[in-house]
Amino acid sequence: MKITRRQFLKTSAAATAASALSLPALAAAQAPPPASPLPGLKTPVLGKADKRLNILMIGGTGFTGPEQVEYALARGHKVTLLNRNKRRPDLFKDRVDMLVGDLNADVSVLKGRSFDVVLDIPTTAPYWVRNVAQHLKGKVGHYVFISTVSVYPDHGKPGMDETAETAPMPADVDPYSTDPALRGSQYAPFKAFCERLVQETYPVSTIIRPGLIVGPLDPSDRFTYWPSRIDRGGEVLAPGDPNDRVQFIDARDLAEWTIHMIEQRETGVYNALGPASPLTVAEMLYGIKAVTTAGAQFTWASADFLQQQKIEAWKHMPVWIPPAGELAGFHFRSNARAVAKGLKFRPLAVTALDTLEWNKTRPPEARQAQLEGKLNGLAPEREAEVLAAWKARPR
């Protein structure tokens, strides 16, 4: 292991302080933020945009959407939401205009409307893009589509950028199918096709491809598992080589940058990944530990051993993927283009602490599901079994 906790804390303290000083809200840090509609969702405190935009957000009430809405409102923009109003119904009641429609069926509520910008957050099916376009084609000044780095079929080469090929549509698949099963099995080709359809339909468009999105409001435990587990203390199973790379982005950094791109009317295709500098899985785990007082201790098990124990990267050991074979470049994708357009990242300590505090507000059933490892991560009993097996392995 090439990095110790002491070394990490010493080298990261100055960087964390410097990053904190760049936050737009620093001047108002002593004032408590206004009450938010969701635990863990904090209304940002910042200046108004130079021009007030009329923004339609498709979705807006899931994981990343509320952050987009809050930031856009804080910047003084007019926000209209289009969704089924079933998930967190009336979340932003009296603060936004609400249009009720189903992307897979009836979106006639859009008929006769126009917008400066459309921010399409949840779309996974080309039919949804076409369904919206029947009412909004020619009536939108700027279309911003939230895609994913999953559109890249090749993750084997470190440093690949936005020019890499995207997943083709299989010849036997109808890209405009309304079959919900295809949105899962053909996720990457569907997303890539959506990108092309947006670019063909709207003369001014932006395609944003995030990697792993983390932070408060994420119910998947893809990152949340680690703050929760480390905060419980004791011996923690840690994956692979401590120097394996990881990449992710705080949902709030993604939201703020997306609205910035909208305000600047920036176009093109961008990988939205963090952090600003290479981050190892050891730095991530020790960074999370630094915001707790539980005194967790890490035991590192090799990738080969974890595979033998049927412990899956990304799922049972979230965030981490061993940099080998077809996934050798998974956590090495270039974010230079987005950084050049102003993408910034809050300190890991902020993401970790805010995620931990939000996790403690989740309903009891969600906390229990997390403890049992039903989403991502490991249940305590299974973790103990793997740790015991690691210690008992032949040397």
Question: Which overall architecture, per CATH, does domain 5-392 show?
Answer: 3-Layer(aba) Sandwich (3.40)
- φ/ψ of 181, rounded to 5, equals -65, -35
CA distance linking residue 5 with residue 286, whole number of Å: 6
**Residue 36 pLDDT:** 61
**Residue 35 pLDDT:** 54
Say if residue 72 is exposed, middle or buried (CB neighbours under 10 Å; 0-12, 13-18, 19+). buried
Whole-angstrom CA distances from 52 to 77, 79, 262 are 5, 10, 11
**Residue 38 pLDDT:** 75
**Residue 41 pLDDT:** 75
Six-digit token pair at 19?
């990053």
Say if residue 78 is exposed, middle or buried (CB neighbours under 10 Å; 0-12, 13-18, 19+). middle
The answer to whether 269 touches 209, Cβ cutoff 8 Å, is yes
Could you count the other beta carbons within 10 Å of the beta carbon of residue 393? 11
pTM for this predicted structure: 0.88
Whether cis (ω within 30° of 0) applies to the bond prior to 275 is: yes
The answer to whether 332 touches 156, Cβ cutoff 8 Å, is no
* Long-range contacts of the stretch 83-89 (C-beta < 8 A, 24+): 83/58, 83/59, 83/122, 87/61, 87/62, 88/38, 88/61
DSSP 49-96: PSS--EEEEE--SSSSHHHHHHHHHHTT-EEEEEE-S-SSTTTTTTTS
CA distance linking residue 46 with residue 28, whole number of Å: 8
- Of all helices (H) and strands (E), which one includes residue 140? strand 140-146
- Of all helices (H) and strands (E), which one includes residue 9? helix 5-21
Nearest to 117 by CA among 56, 203, 39: 56
Could you count the other beta carbons within 10 Å of the beta carbon of residue 357? 14
CA distance linking residue 81 with residue 86, whole number of Å: 12
Say if residue 172 is exposed, middle or buried (CB neighbours under 10 Å; 0-12, 13-18, 19+). exposed
Q: What residues contact 27, with CB distance under 8 A and at least 6 apart?
A: none
Q: Which amino acid is at 125?
A: A
> What is the pairing mode between strands 268-272 and 297-301?
unpaired
Per-residue pLDDT of the chain (395 residues; tens, 9 = 90+): 344 444 433 334 333 333 333 333 333 333 344 456 677 777 665 689 999 999 999 999 999 999 999 999 999 999 999 999 998 898 999 999 999 999 999 999 999 999 999 999 999 999 999 999 999 999 999 999 999 999 999 999 999 999 999 999 999 999 999 999 999 999 999 999 999 999 999 999 999 999 999 999 998 999 999 999 999 999 999 999 999 999 999 999 999 999 999 999 999 999 999 999 999 999 999 999 999 999 999 999 999 999 999 999 999 999 999 999 999 999 999 999 999 999 999 999 999 999 999 999 999 999 999 999 999 999 999 999 999 999 999 98
**Residue 21 pLDDT:** 31
How close are the terminal C-alpha atoms of the chain, in Å? 18
> What is the pairing mode between strands 317-318 and 78-83?
unpaired
Q: Return the sign of the alpha-carbon dihedral for residues 277, 281, 283, 287.
A: positive
